[in-house]
Structure 1
Amino acid sequence: MKSIKQSNRLISLDILRGVTIAGMIMVNNPGSWGSIYKPLKHASWHGLTPTDLVFPFFMFIMGVSTFMSLRKYNFEPSRESVWKIAKRTIIIFLIGLGLNWFGQLSSGLGAGENFITAASHFDTIRILGVMQRLALAYGFAALIGILFKPKQIVWIIATLLVGYFFILFFGNGFEMSEQNIISIVDQNLWGEAHMYKDWGPDGQITLDPEGLLSTLPSIAHVLIGFLFGKMIVENKNNHKRVEKVMIWGTVLAFAGLLLQYG
Protein backbone atom coordinates (compact mmCIF):
# COMPACT_ATOMS: atom_id res chain seq x y z
CA MET A 1 0.00 0.00 0.00
CA LYS A 2 1.34 3.42 -0.95
CA SER A 3 1.89 5.86 1.86
CA ILE A 4 -0.15 9.05 1.71
CA LYS A 5 1.98 12.15 1.54
CA GLN A 6 1.06 14.52 4.33
CA SER A 7 0.10 18.00 3.18
CA ASN A 8 1.71 21.08 4.69
CA ARG A 9 -1.46 23.09 4.15
CA LEU A 10 -3.39 24.43 7.10
CA ILE A 11 -6.71 22.68 6.56
CA SER A 12 -8.63 24.90 8.98
CA LEU A 13 -7.54 27.95 6.99
CA ASP A 14 -8.70 26.34 3.74
CA ILE A 15 -12.08 25.62 5.32
CA LEU A 16 -12.43 29.20 6.55
CA ARG A 17 -11.43 30.48 3.11
CA GLY A 18 -14.03 28.26 1.45
CA VAL A 19 -16.78 29.32 3.85
CA THR A 20 -15.85 32.97 3.32
CA ILE A 21 -15.95 32.66 -0.46
CA ALA A 22 -19.32 30.91 -0.22
CA GLY A 23 -20.55 33.77 1.96
CA MET A 24 -19.24 36.33 -0.53
CA ILE A 25 -21.06 34.63 -3.40
CA MET A 26 -24.27 34.46 -1.39
CA VAL A 27 -24.32 38.12 -0.30
CA ASN A 28 -23.44 39.29 -3.82
CA ASN A 29 -26.22 37.17 -5.33
CA PRO A 30 -29.13 37.40 -2.86
CA GLY A 31 -31.75 36.53 -5.46
CA SER A 32 -33.87 39.65 -5.58
CA TRP A 33 -32.24 42.98 -4.76
CA GLY A 34 -35.70 44.34 -4.05
CA SER A 35 -36.37 42.00 -1.14
CA ILE A 36 -33.13 40.90 0.49
CA TYR A 37 -33.02 38.75 3.61
CA LYS A 38 -31.71 41.17 6.26
CA PRO A 39 -28.64 39.13 7.29
CA LEU A 40 -27.54 39.30 3.64
CA LYS A 41 -27.43 43.11 3.74
CA HIS A 42 -24.69 45.35 5.08
CA ALA A 43 -25.51 47.43 8.12
CA SER A 44 -26.52 50.86 6.85
CA TRP A 45 -23.92 52.55 9.10
CA HIS A 46 -23.77 51.50 12.75
CA GLY A 47 -24.25 47.82 13.44
CA LEU A 48 -23.04 44.45 12.24
CA THR A 49 -24.56 41.72 10.09
CA PRO A 50 -23.10 38.42 8.83
CA THR A 51 -22.49 40.19 5.51
CA ASP A 52 -20.18 42.66 7.25
CA LEU A 53 -17.95 39.78 8.34
CA VAL A 54 -17.04 38.58 4.84
CA PHE A 55 -14.36 41.17 4.07
CA PRO A 56 -12.79 41.06 7.56
CA PHE A 57 -12.56 37.28 7.24
CA PHE A 58 -10.62 37.73 4.00
CA MET A 59 -8.19 40.10 5.71
CA PHE A 60 -7.72 37.72 8.62
CA ILE A 61 -7.09 34.86 6.20
CA MET A 62 -4.62 37.06 4.34
CA GLY A 63 -2.76 37.70 7.58
CA VAL A 64 -2.45 34.00 8.42
CA SER A 65 -1.36 33.23 4.85
CA THR A 66 1.18 36.06 4.95
CA PHE A 67 2.81 34.55 8.03
CA MET A 68 3.02 31.17 6.35
CA SER A 69 4.45 32.57 3.11
CA LEU A 70 7.10 34.70 4.82
CA ARG A 71 8.49 31.80 6.84
CA LYS A 72 10.78 30.84 3.97
CA TYR A 73 12.45 34.26 4.29
CA ASN A 74 12.83 33.73 8.05
CA PHE A 75 10.85 36.97 8.52
CA GLU A 76 13.88 39.02 7.57
CA PRO A 77 14.03 41.87 5.06
CA SER A 78 15.94 40.97 1.93
CA ARG A 79 15.90 41.99 -1.68
CA GLU A 80 13.91 38.88 -2.55
CA SER A 81 11.32 39.21 0.22
CA VAL A 82 10.74 42.94 -0.30
CA TRP A 83 10.44 42.47 -4.06
CA LYS A 84 7.89 39.69 -3.60
CA ILE A 85 5.80 41.87 -1.29
CA ALA A 86 6.03 44.90 -3.58
CA LYS A 87 5.21 42.90 -6.71
CA ARG A 88 2.19 41.24 -5.15
CA THR A 89 0.94 44.56 -3.75
CA ILE A 90 1.23 46.30 -7.12
CA ILE A 91 -0.42 43.44 -9.02
CA ILE A 92 -3.41 43.24 -6.66
CA PHE A 93 -3.81 47.03 -6.70
CA LEU A 94 -3.72 47.15 -10.51
CA ILE A 95 -6.25 44.32 -10.75
CA GLY A 96 -8.61 46.38 -8.59
CA LEU A 97 -8.02 49.48 -10.67
CA GLY A 98 -8.61 47.44 -13.81
CA LEU A 99 -11.91 46.15 -12.45
CA ASN A 100 -13.01 49.72 -11.73
CA TRP A 101 -12.08 50.69 -15.30
CA PHE A 102 -13.95 47.70 -16.70
CA GLY A 103 -17.03 48.70 -14.70
CA GLN A 104 -16.93 52.15 -16.25
CA LEU A 105 -16.38 50.64 -19.69
CA SER A 106 -19.42 48.40 -19.29
CA SER A 107 -21.57 51.30 -18.09
CA GLY A 108 -20.47 53.44 -21.00
CA LEU A 109 -21.17 50.75 -23.57
CA GLY A 110 -24.54 50.11 -21.94
CA ALA A 111 -25.34 53.81 -22.28
CA GLY A 112 -24.65 53.67 -26.02
CA GLU A 113 -21.12 55.10 -26.09
CA ASN A 114 -18.58 53.76 -28.55
CA PHE A 115 -15.70 51.68 -27.19
CA ILE A 116 -13.07 54.45 -27.33
CA THR A 117 -15.27 56.91 -25.46
CA ALA A 118 -16.42 54.35 -22.91
CA ALA A 119 -12.83 53.27 -22.26
CA SER A 120 -11.53 56.81 -21.82
CA HIS A 121 -13.33 58.01 -18.70
CA PHE A 122 -10.11 58.20 -16.71
CA ASP A 123 -11.18 61.51 -15.21
CA THR A 124 -13.87 59.73 -13.19
CA ILE A 125 -12.36 56.32 -12.53
CA ARG A 126 -12.50 55.27 -8.89
CA ILE A 127 -8.96 55.00 -7.51
CA LEU A 128 -9.60 52.80 -4.49
CA GLY A 129 -11.75 49.73 -3.93
CA VAL A 130 -11.85 46.30 -2.34
CA MET A 131 -8.84 44.86 -4.18
CA GLN A 132 -6.86 48.04 -3.63
CA ARG A 133 -7.53 47.85 0.09
CA LEU A 134 -6.42 44.23 0.17
CA ALA A 135 -3.27 45.23 -1.69
CA LEU A 136 -2.38 48.09 0.65
CA ALA A 137 -3.24 46.15 3.80
CA TYR A 138 -1.17 43.19 2.63
CA GLY A 139 1.77 45.32 1.53
CA PHE A 140 2.11 47.27 4.76
CA ALA A 141 1.36 44.27 6.99
CA ALA A 142 3.89 42.06 5.19
CA LEU A 143 6.59 44.72 5.44
CA ILE A 144 5.86 45.13 9.14
CA GLY A 145 6.05 41.34 9.48
CA ILE A 146 9.64 41.25 8.23
CA LEU A 147 10.80 44.48 9.88
CA PHE A 148 9.49 44.00 13.41
CA LYS A 149 9.35 41.28 16.04
CA PRO A 150 5.99 39.79 17.11
CA LYS A 151 5.97 41.69 20.42
CA GLN A 152 6.56 44.93 18.54
CA ILE A 153 3.76 44.06 16.12
CA VAL A 154 1.34 43.83 19.05
CA TRP A 155 2.13 47.45 19.90
CA ILE A 156 1.82 48.48 16.26
CA ILE A 157 -1.66 46.93 16.12
CA ALA A 158 -2.71 48.70 19.32
CA THR A 159 -1.32 52.01 18.04
CA LEU A 160 -3.12 51.70 14.72
CA LEU A 161 -6.48 50.85 16.28
CA VAL A 162 -6.40 53.31 19.17
CA GLY A 163 -4.90 56.02 16.98
CA TYR A 164 -7.59 55.47 14.36
CA PHE A 165 -10.27 55.67 17.04
CA PHE A 166 -9.06 59.10 18.13
CA ILE A 167 -8.78 60.27 14.51
CA LEU A 168 -12.43 59.34 14.05
CA PHE A 169 -13.42 60.82 17.41
CA PHE A 170 -11.91 64.22 16.68
CA GLY A 171 -12.56 64.15 12.94
CA ASN A 172 -16.32 63.56 12.87
CA GLY A 173 -15.51 60.03 11.77
CA PHE A 174 -18.57 58.41 13.30
CA GLU A 175 -20.98 60.41 11.14
CA MET A 176 -22.07 59.32 7.68
CA SER A 177 -21.40 62.59 5.90
CA GLU A 178 -18.93 64.30 3.60
CA GLN A 179 -17.57 66.16 6.64
CA ASN A 180 -16.28 62.82 7.90
CA ILE A 181 -12.47 62.89 8.16
CA ILE A 182 -12.33 59.72 6.03
CA SER A 183 -14.10 61.49 3.18
CA ILE A 184 -12.13 64.71 3.64
CA VAL A 185 -8.79 62.90 3.27
CA ASP A 186 -9.89 61.16 0.07
CA GLN A 187 -11.40 64.32 -1.37
CA ASN A 188 -8.10 66.13 -0.91
CA LEU A 189 -6.03 63.27 -2.29
CA TRP A 190 -8.07 62.03 -5.24
CA GLY A 191 -10.93 64.48 -5.72
CA GLU A 192 -14.64 63.68 -5.59
CA ALA A 193 -14.70 62.44 -9.18
CA HIS A 194 -12.46 59.50 -8.26
CA MET A 195 -14.41 58.44 -5.17
CA TYR A 196 -17.28 56.11 -4.42
CA LYS A 197 -20.71 57.67 -4.04
CA ASP A 198 -22.80 56.29 -1.19
CA TRP A 199 -26.29 57.00 0.05
CA GLY A 200 -26.58 58.90 3.32
CA PRO A 201 -29.59 59.99 5.36
CA ASP A 202 -30.08 63.08 3.16
CA GLY A 203 -29.22 61.63 -0.23
CA GLN A 204 -26.08 60.70 -2.13
CA ILE A 205 -22.75 61.59 -0.54
CA THR A 206 -19.09 61.20 -1.47
CA LEU A 207 -17.77 58.75 1.11
CA ASP A 208 -15.56 55.87 0.01
CA PRO A 209 -15.96 52.76 2.19
CA GLU A 210 -12.47 51.69 1.10
CA GLY A 211 -10.89 55.10 1.64
CA LEU A 212 -7.19 55.56 2.31
CA LEU A 213 -7.49 56.60 5.95
CA SER A 214 -9.80 53.72 6.82
CA THR A 215 -7.13 51.34 5.51
CA LEU A 216 -5.29 51.81 8.82
CA PRO A 217 -7.49 49.40 10.81
CA SER A 218 -7.38 47.00 7.87
CA ILE A 219 -3.60 46.84 8.20
CA ALA A 220 -4.09 46.08 11.89
CA HIS A 221 -6.61 43.41 10.95
CA VAL A 222 -4.13 41.65 8.65
CA LEU A 223 -1.47 41.89 11.35
CA ILE A 224 -3.85 40.24 13.81
CA GLY A 225 -4.22 37.40 11.33
CA PHE A 226 -0.43 37.33 11.01
CA LEU A 227 -0.01 36.83 14.76
CA PHE A 228 -2.77 34.23 14.86
CA GLY A 229 -0.95 32.44 12.06
CA LYS A 230 2.19 32.40 14.18
CA MET A 231 0.25 31.08 17.16
CA ILE A 232 -1.45 28.34 15.14
CA VAL A 233 1.58 27.20 13.14
CA GLU A 234 4.07 27.19 16.01
CA ASN A 235 1.75 25.49 18.50
CA LYS A 236 1.41 21.81 17.55
CA ASN A 237 -1.10 20.92 20.27
CA ASN A 238 -4.60 21.32 18.82
CA HIS A 239 -6.22 21.80 22.23
CA LYS A 240 -3.81 24.64 23.00
CA ARG A 241 -4.44 26.13 19.57
CA VAL A 242 -8.19 26.19 20.07
CA GLU A 243 -7.83 27.50 23.61
CA LYS A 244 -5.60 30.39 22.60
CA VAL A 245 -7.69 31.28 19.56
CA MET A 246 -10.85 31.34 21.67
CA ILE A 247 -9.26 33.44 24.42
CA TRP A 248 -7.70 36.01 22.11
CA GLY A 249 -10.75 36.04 19.86
CA THR A 250 -12.93 36.92 22.84
CA VAL A 251 -10.52 39.63 24.00
CA LEU A 252 -10.41 41.20 20.54
CA ALA A 253 -14.20 41.03 20.19
CA PHE A 254 -14.63 43.02 23.41
CA ALA A 255 -11.91 45.45 22.30
CA GLY A 256 -13.83 45.98 19.07
CA LEU A 257 -17.02 46.68 21.00
CA LEU A 258 -15.21 49.31 23.07
CA LEU A 259 -13.65 50.98 20.03
CA GLN A 260 -16.99 51.36 18.26
CA TYR A 261 -18.27 53.91 20.74
CA GLY A 262 -17.75 57.46 19.63
Structure 2
Amino acid sequence: MNSQTKTNKRILALDILRGVTIAGMIMVNNPGTWGHIYAPLRHAEWNGLTPTDLVFPFFMFIMGISTYISLKKYNFEFSHAAAMKILKRTIIIFLIGLAIGWLSRFCYYWAGSHEGLSFGEQLWASVWTFDRIRILGVMQRLALCYGATAIIALTMKHRHIPYLIATLLVGYFILLMCGNGFAYNETNILSIVDRAILTPAHMYKDNGIDPEGLLSTIPSIAHVLLGFCVGRMMLDSNRAESREALLNSHLIKLFLVGAILTFAGFLLSYGCPINKKIWSPTFVLTTCGLASSFLALLIWIIDVKGYKKW
Protein backbone atom coordinates (compact mmCIF):
# COMPACT_ATOMS: atom_id res chain seq x y z
CA MET A 1 0.00 0.00 0.00
CA ASN A 2 1.54 3.34 -1.03
CA SER A 3 1.66 6.45 1.13
CA GLN A 4 -1.09 8.26 -0.82
CA THR A 5 -3.50 5.36 -0.27
CA LYS A 6 -2.67 5.40 3.41
CA THR A 7 -3.30 9.14 3.57
CA ASN A 8 -6.73 8.74 2.00
CA LYS A 9 -7.75 6.00 4.44
CA ARG A 10 -10.86 7.05 6.30
CA ILE A 11 -10.33 8.95 9.55
CA LEU A 12 -12.76 7.29 11.96
CA ALA A 13 -12.63 10.20 14.41
CA LEU A 14 -14.48 12.42 11.91
CA ASP A 15 -17.35 9.92 11.76
CA ILE A 16 -17.44 9.78 15.56
CA LEU A 17 -17.53 13.58 15.79
CA ARG A 18 -20.43 13.62 13.34
CA GLY A 19 -22.24 10.95 15.35
CA VAL A 20 -21.67 12.76 18.66
CA THR A 21 -23.01 15.97 17.12
CA ILE A 22 -26.16 14.28 15.78
CA ALA A 23 -26.71 12.65 19.18
CA GLY A 24 -26.37 16.11 20.71
CA MET A 25 -28.96 17.46 18.29
CA ILE A 26 -31.45 14.78 19.33
CA MET A 27 -30.80 15.38 23.03
CA VAL A 28 -31.12 19.20 23.00
CA ASN A 29 -34.31 18.99 20.92
CA ASN A 30 -35.80 16.46 23.35
CA PRO A 31 -34.57 17.60 26.79
CA GLY A 32 -37.54 16.23 28.71
CA THR A 33 -40.19 18.49 30.20
CA TRP A 34 -39.76 21.88 28.55
CA GLY A 35 -40.69 23.67 31.76
CA HIS A 36 -37.77 22.10 33.64
CA ILE A 37 -34.64 21.85 31.50
CA TYR A 38 -31.10 21.48 32.81
CA ALA A 39 -29.11 24.66 32.18
CA PRO A 40 -26.55 23.02 29.82
CA LEU A 41 -29.44 21.90 27.59
CA ARG A 42 -30.71 25.46 27.11
CA HIS A 43 -29.54 27.91 24.47
CA ALA A 44 -28.05 31.16 25.69
CA GLU A 45 -30.88 33.70 25.80
CA TRP A 46 -28.78 36.28 23.93
CA ASN A 47 -25.04 36.79 24.47
CA GLY A 48 -23.06 33.86 25.82
CA LEU A 49 -22.40 30.21 25.08
CA THR A 50 -23.78 26.95 26.47
CA PRO A 51 -23.01 23.33 25.45
CA THR A 52 -26.27 23.35 23.48
CA ASP A 53 -25.03 26.26 21.39
CA LEU A 54 -22.13 24.10 20.17
CA VAL A 55 -24.25 21.48 18.40
CA PHE A 56 -25.26 23.36 15.24
CA PRO A 57 -21.87 25.05 14.64
CA PHE A 58 -20.06 21.74 15.17
CA PHE A 59 -22.23 20.19 12.45
CA MET A 60 -21.49 23.07 10.08
CA PHE A 61 -17.77 22.71 10.80
CA ILE A 62 -17.99 19.00 9.95
CA MET A 63 -19.92 19.88 6.78
CA GLY A 64 -17.01 22.06 5.70
CA ILE A 65 -14.56 19.14 6.10
CA SER A 66 -16.96 16.79 4.30
CA THR A 67 -17.32 19.30 1.46
CA TYR A 68 -13.56 19.18 0.95
CA ILE A 69 -13.67 15.37 0.84
CA SER A 70 -16.63 15.24 -1.56
CA LEU A 71 -15.19 17.81 -4.01
CA LYS A 72 -11.74 16.25 -4.07
CA LYS A 73 -12.90 13.74 -6.70
CA TYR A 74 -13.54 16.69 -9.06
CA ASN A 75 -9.96 17.83 -8.43
CA PHE A 76 -11.56 21.11 -7.30
CA GLU A 77 -12.18 22.12 -10.91
CA PHE A 78 -15.47 23.70 -11.90
CA SER A 79 -17.46 21.60 -14.35
CA HIS A 80 -21.05 21.14 -15.46
CA ALA A 81 -21.31 17.84 -13.58
CA ALA A 82 -19.98 19.36 -10.35
CA ALA A 83 -22.21 22.44 -10.65
CA MET A 84 -25.33 20.34 -11.23
CA LYS A 85 -24.53 18.11 -8.28
CA ILE A 86 -24.03 21.11 -6.00
CA LEU A 87 -27.21 22.81 -7.25
CA LYS A 88 -29.27 19.62 -6.88
CA ARG A 89 -28.00 18.93 -3.37
CA THR A 90 -28.55 22.56 -2.30
CA ILE A 91 -32.14 22.61 -3.58
CA ILE A 92 -32.99 19.22 -2.04
CA ILE A 93 -31.67 20.18 1.41
CA PHE A 94 -33.49 23.52 1.25
CA LEU A 95 -36.77 21.84 0.25
CA ILE A 96 -36.41 19.27 3.03
CA GLY A 97 -36.13 22.17 5.47
CA LEU A 98 -39.31 23.75 4.07
CA ALA A 99 -41.09 20.39 4.23
CA ILE A 100 -40.14 19.93 7.88
CA GLY A 101 -41.40 23.44 8.62
CA TRP A 102 -44.69 22.73 6.84
CA LEU A 103 -45.13 19.40 8.70
CA SER A 104 -44.59 21.04 12.08
CA ARG A 105 -47.19 23.69 11.18
CA PHE A 106 -49.62 20.99 10.01
CA CYS A 107 -49.28 19.04 13.26
CA TYR A 108 -49.61 22.21 15.34
CA TYR A 109 -52.83 23.36 13.65
CA TRP A 110 -54.29 19.86 13.38
CA ALA A 111 -53.89 19.33 17.13
CA GLY A 112 -55.30 22.77 17.93
CA SER A 113 -58.85 23.75 18.69
CA HIS A 114 -61.14 23.84 15.63
CA GLU A 115 -64.59 24.31 17.09
CA GLY A 116 -67.34 24.66 14.52
CA LEU A 117 -65.19 23.41 11.62
CA SER A 118 -66.00 20.34 9.56
CA PHE A 119 -63.35 17.68 8.99
CA GLY A 120 -62.62 19.05 5.51
CA GLU A 121 -62.31 22.62 6.76
CA GLN A 122 -60.04 21.53 9.59
CA LEU A 123 -57.89 19.55 7.17
CA TRP A 124 -57.60 22.51 4.78
CA ALA A 125 -56.76 24.92 7.60
CA SER A 126 -53.97 22.59 8.70
CA VAL A 127 -52.65 21.91 5.18
CA TRP A 128 -52.70 25.45 3.80
CA THR A 129 -50.18 27.23 6.03
CA PHE A 130 -47.96 28.57 3.25
CA ASP A 131 -48.96 32.14 4.00
CA ARG A 132 -47.23 31.86 7.40
CA ILE A 133 -44.63 29.14 6.96
CA ARG A 134 -41.08 29.98 8.00
CA ILE A 135 -38.88 30.32 4.91
CA LEU A 136 -35.47 29.94 6.54
CA GLY A 137 -34.35 27.46 9.18
CA VAL A 138 -31.61 25.02 10.14
CA MET A 139 -31.75 22.87 7.01
CA GLN A 140 -32.10 25.92 4.78
CA ARG A 141 -28.99 27.44 6.34
CA LEU A 142 -27.08 24.20 5.78
CA ALA A 143 -28.20 24.23 2.15
CA LEU A 144 -27.17 27.84 1.48
CA CYS A 145 -23.82 27.48 3.25
CA TYR A 146 -23.01 24.21 1.50
CA GLY A 147 -23.87 25.64 -1.91
CA ALA A 148 -21.81 28.81 -1.37
CA THR A 149 -18.82 26.92 0.08
CA ALA A 150 -18.81 24.36 -2.71
CA ILE A 151 -18.94 27.02 -5.46
CA ILE A 152 -16.17 29.01 -3.78
CA ALA A 153 -14.05 25.87 -3.43
CA LEU A 154 -14.36 25.15 -7.15
CA THR A 155 -13.82 28.68 -8.43
CA MET A 156 -11.30 30.21 -6.04
CA LYS A 157 -7.69 29.34 -5.29
CA HIS A 158 -7.67 27.60 -1.93
CA ARG A 159 -4.78 29.63 -0.56
CA HIS A 160 -6.98 32.73 -0.89
CA ILE A 161 -9.93 31.29 1.05
CA PRO A 162 -8.58 32.34 4.51
CA TYR A 163 -8.51 35.95 3.26
CA LEU A 164 -12.12 35.59 2.13
CA ILE A 165 -13.08 34.22 5.56
CA ALA A 166 -11.42 37.19 7.27
CA THR A 167 -13.16 39.61 4.88
CA LEU A 168 -16.58 38.08 5.54
CA LEU A 169 -16.15 38.13 9.32
CA VAL A 170 -14.69 41.66 9.49
CA GLY A 171 -17.30 42.98 7.06
CA TYR A 172 -20.10 41.38 9.06
CA PHE A 173 -18.73 42.85 12.31
CA ILE A 174 -18.71 46.33 10.76
CA LEU A 175 -22.30 45.75 9.63
CA LEU A 176 -23.30 44.77 13.18
CA MET A 177 -21.59 47.78 14.71
CA CYS A 178 -23.13 50.22 12.25
CA GLY A 179 -26.59 48.64 12.30
CA ASN A 180 -27.20 48.15 16.03
CA GLY A 181 -26.53 44.48 15.42
CA PHE A 182 -26.15 43.51 19.07
CA ALA A 183 -29.59 44.81 20.09
CA TYR A 184 -32.10 42.10 20.98
CA ASN A 185 -35.06 43.84 19.36
CA GLU A 186 -36.51 45.00 16.04
CA THR A 187 -34.07 47.92 15.71
CA ASN A 188 -31.38 45.37 14.87
CA ILE A 189 -30.25 45.59 11.22
CA LEU A 190 -30.69 41.82 10.91
CA SER A 191 -34.32 42.11 11.97
CA ILE A 192 -34.95 45.08 9.69
CA VAL A 193 -33.63 43.25 6.62
CA ASP A 194 -35.47 40.00 7.41
CA ARG A 195 -38.76 41.79 8.04
CA ALA A 196 -38.40 43.74 4.80
CA ILE A 197 -37.55 40.74 2.61
CA LEU A 198 -39.03 37.68 4.34
CA THR A 199 -41.89 39.57 6.12
CA PRO A 200 -42.75 38.79 9.79
CA ALA A 201 -45.22 36.06 8.83
CA HIS A 202 -42.37 33.94 7.45
CA MET A 203 -39.86 34.51 10.26
CA TYR A 204 -39.01 32.86 13.56
CA LYS A 205 -40.65 34.79 16.40
CA ASP A 206 -37.90 35.91 18.79
CA ASN A 207 -37.96 39.64 19.50
CA GLY A 208 -37.91 40.22 15.74
CA ILE A 209 -34.67 38.24 15.34
CA ASP A 210 -34.57 35.18 13.09
CA PRO A 211 -31.57 33.08 14.24
CA GLU A 212 -31.19 31.71 10.71
CA GLY A 213 -31.86 35.00 8.95
CA LEU A 214 -30.49 36.40 5.72
CA LEU A 215 -27.59 38.59 6.87
CA SER A 216 -26.36 36.10 9.48
CA THR A 217 -25.85 33.64 6.62
CA ILE A 218 -22.70 35.65 5.76
CA PRO A 219 -20.67 34.55 8.82
CA SER A 220 -22.22 31.08 8.53
CA ILE A 221 -20.59 30.70 5.11
CA ALA A 222 -17.29 31.77 6.66
CA HIS A 223 -17.90 29.13 9.34
CA VAL A 224 -18.24 26.30 6.80
CA LEU A 225 -15.25 27.66 4.85
CA LEU A 226 -13.20 27.39 8.05
CA GLY A 227 -14.18 23.73 8.25
CA PHE A 228 -13.19 23.35 4.60
CA CYS A 229 -9.75 24.84 5.32
CA VAL A 230 -9.28 22.46 8.25
CA GLY A 231 -10.22 19.55 5.98
CA ARG A 232 -7.66 20.72 3.44
CA MET A 233 -5.02 21.03 6.13
CA MET A 234 -5.76 17.51 7.37
CA LEU A 235 -6.08 15.64 4.10
CA ASP A 236 -4.08 17.52 1.47
CA SER A 237 -0.69 15.85 1.90
CA ASN A 238 1.62 14.31 -0.69
CA ARG A 239 4.45 13.65 1.69
CA ALA A 240 5.82 10.09 1.76
CA GLU A 241 5.03 9.50 5.42
CA SER A 242 3.31 6.71 7.24
CA ARG A 243 -0.30 7.12 8.26
CA GLU A 244 0.78 7.33 11.92
CA ALA A 245 3.22 10.16 11.20
CA LEU A 246 0.58 12.04 9.21
CA LEU A 247 -2.01 11.64 11.95
CA ASN A 248 0.45 12.92 14.55
CA SER A 249 1.20 15.95 12.37
CA HIS A 250 -2.57 16.51 12.01
CA LEU A 251 -2.88 16.47 15.80
CA ILE A 252 -0.34 19.24 16.24
CA LYS A 253 -1.97 21.38 13.52
CA LEU A 254 -5.52 20.79 14.79
CA PHE A 255 -4.66 21.55 18.41
CA LEU A 256 -2.79 24.66 17.32
CA VAL A 257 -5.65 25.89 15.12
CA GLY A 258 -8.17 25.03 17.83
CA ALA A 259 -6.24 26.88 20.53
CA ILE A 260 -5.68 29.98 18.38
CA LEU A 261 -9.30 30.23 17.21
CA THR A 262 -10.77 29.58 20.66
CA PHE A 263 -8.43 32.06 22.36
CA ALA A 264 -9.09 34.68 19.67
CA GLY A 265 -12.85 34.20 19.95
CA PHE A 266 -12.96 34.63 23.72
CA LEU A 267 -10.47 37.51 23.66
CA LEU A 268 -12.37 39.44 20.99
CA SER A 269 -15.69 38.77 22.74
CA TYR A 270 -15.02 41.82 24.94
CA GLY A 271 -15.73 43.98 21.91
CA CYS A 272 -17.83 41.56 19.87
CA PRO A 273 -19.99 39.35 22.14
CA ILE A 274 -20.30 35.64 21.41
CA ASN A 275 -23.87 35.30 20.16
CA LYS A 276 -25.42 32.36 18.35
CA LYS A 277 -28.65 34.09 17.32
CA ILE A 278 -26.79 36.64 15.19
CA TRP A 279 -23.91 34.20 14.48
CA SER A 280 -21.36 36.78 15.59
CA PRO A 281 -17.77 36.55 14.28
CA THR A 282 -16.53 35.57 17.75
CA PHE A 283 -19.13 32.79 17.82
CA VAL A 284 -17.62 31.49 14.57
CA LEU A 285 -14.05 31.63 15.90
CA THR A 286 -14.82 30.08 19.29
CA THR A 287 -17.01 27.22 18.07
CA CYS A 288 -14.69 26.33 15.17
CA GLY A 289 -11.76 26.38 17.60
CA LEU A 290 -13.53 24.07 20.04
CA ALA A 291 -14.59 21.75 17.20
CA SER A 292 -11.02 21.59 15.91
CA SER A 293 -9.67 20.77 19.38
CA PHE A 294 -12.33 18.13 19.97
CA LEU A 295 -11.58 16.53 16.59
CA ALA A 296 -7.87 16.45 17.45
CA LEU A 297 -8.69 14.74 20.75
CA LEU A 298 -10.81 12.12 18.99
CA ILE A 299 -8.09 11.48 16.40
CA TRP A 300 -5.57 10.93 19.22
CA ILE A 301 -7.89 8.53 21.08
CA ILE A 302 -9.29 6.59 18.11
CA ASP A 303 -6.94 6.79 15.13
CA VAL A 304 -3.58 7.14 16.90
CA LYS A 305 -4.04 5.17 20.14
CA GLY A 306 -6.51 2.78 18.53
CA TYR A 307 -9.16 2.80 21.29
CA LYS A 308 -12.08 1.77 19.08
CA LYS A 309 -14.00 -0.77 21.14
CA TRP A 310 -16.13 1.89 22.82
CA distance in structure 1 between the aligned counterparts of 2:162 and 2:88, rounded to whole angstroms: 26
Q: Which amino acid aligns with 1:179?
A: T
TM-score by length of 1: 0.92
Q: 1:124-143 counterparts in 2 under 5 A?
A: 124-143=132-151
Whether 2:116 is the aligned partner of 1:108: answer no
Identify which of 187, 199, 209 aligns with 2:195.
187
Deviations 1:59-84 (A, max 9, x none): 00100000000001000110011111
Secondary structure of the 1:87 match is helix
Correspondence for 1:80: 81
CA distance in structure 2 between the aligned counterparts of 1:135 and 1:78, rounded to whole angstroms: 20
Higher-RCO chain (CA-CA 8 Å, sequence separation at least 6): 2
TM-score by length of 2: 0.78
The farther-off stretch of 221-230 and 233-242 is: 233-242
- 8 Å contact from structure 1 (residues 59, 222) kept in 2: yes
Q: CA deviation at 1:149?
A: 1.4
Structure 2 unmatched ranges of 5 or more: 1-5, 115-120, 238-242, 273-310
Secondary structure of the 1:206 match is coil
Larger Rg: 2
Whether 2:242 is the aligned partner of 1:241: answer no
Deviations 1:152-205 (A, max 9, x none): 11111001111111111111111111111111111111111111101xxxxxx2
Q: Which amino acid aligns with 2:260?
A: V
Correspondence for 2:282: none
- 8 Å contact from structure 1 (residues 165, 259) kept in 2: no
Structure 1 unmatched ranges of 5 or more: 1-5, 199-204
Deviations 1:42-61 (A, max 9, x none): 11101001100000000001
CA distance in structure 2 between the aligned counterparts of 1:257 and 1:62, rounded to whole angstroms: 24
- 8 Å contact from structure 1 (residues 168, 181) kept in 2: yes
- Runs of 4+ residues deviating >6 angstroms: none
Q: CA deviation at 1:239?
A: 1.4
Correspondence for 1:44: 45
CA distance in structure 2 between the aligned counterparts of 1:76 and 1:242, rounded to whole angstroms: 29
Secondary structure of the 2:152 match is helix
The CA RMSD measured in Å over matched residues stands at: 1.5
CA distance in structure 1 between the aligned counterparts of 2:254 and 2:214, rounded to whole angstroms: 30
Q: Which amino acid aligns with 1:17?
A: R
Give the paired residue count.
251
